[in-house]
Amino acid sequence: MTDTSAGDGQPIGGPQPNMPQVQVHAQYVKDLSFENPEAPRSLSQQGAAPKIEVSVDVGARNLGPNQFEVELRITANADHEETKAFVVEVLYAGVFTLHNVDESTMKPVCLIECPRILFPFARRVIADATRDGGFPPLLLEPIDFAVLYFQSEQQQQGEAAAPAGGGNGGGGNGGGETG
């Protein structure tokens, strides 16, 4: 009783021919580290909110025709005044195939759309690790991977335009290789 195609034979609500598509083959934790160097003292100092610094990095590498491994690295450092509360780092990755994506948009898709898919799962891993470490779960705010990507692109263009020896050579968030 339900129609699966429109009158012109196109599927209703399904992918349209030649529309860009991202296919997820696998998602996995590549590396996970949780350090609680001052335990049990750090666990007794939970009255005041710790200062938390979060860094994010994205990378991609080509596995074959239109297939990429995309890695999302998130590191969070928490400090109570002069005491290290915890450090958590996750390297969460996925294998993706990009269908109907032209060469000029491969890199943005790998470094914006794929991490957007991975992020909720990496966020859960971090929340679970901090909770299992004796702290309240660290619930990261959503990340705008498009902003990270464009900031990284601007930084790379600025370094390329700088005279030899003029750059500081620092790494950036959102960088990666797709070729």
Average pLDDT over residues 55-83: 93
d(CA 29, CA 125): 9
Q: What is the pLDDT of residues 23-48, one digit of tens each?
A: 999 999 999 999 998 777 767 766 67
The pTM score is 0.77
Q: What pLDDT score does 157 carry?
A: 83
Q: What pLDDT score does 53 carry?
A: 96
Torsion of CA 14, 16, 18, 23, to 10 degrees: -10
Domains of the chain: residue spans and CATH = 21-139 (3.10.420.10)
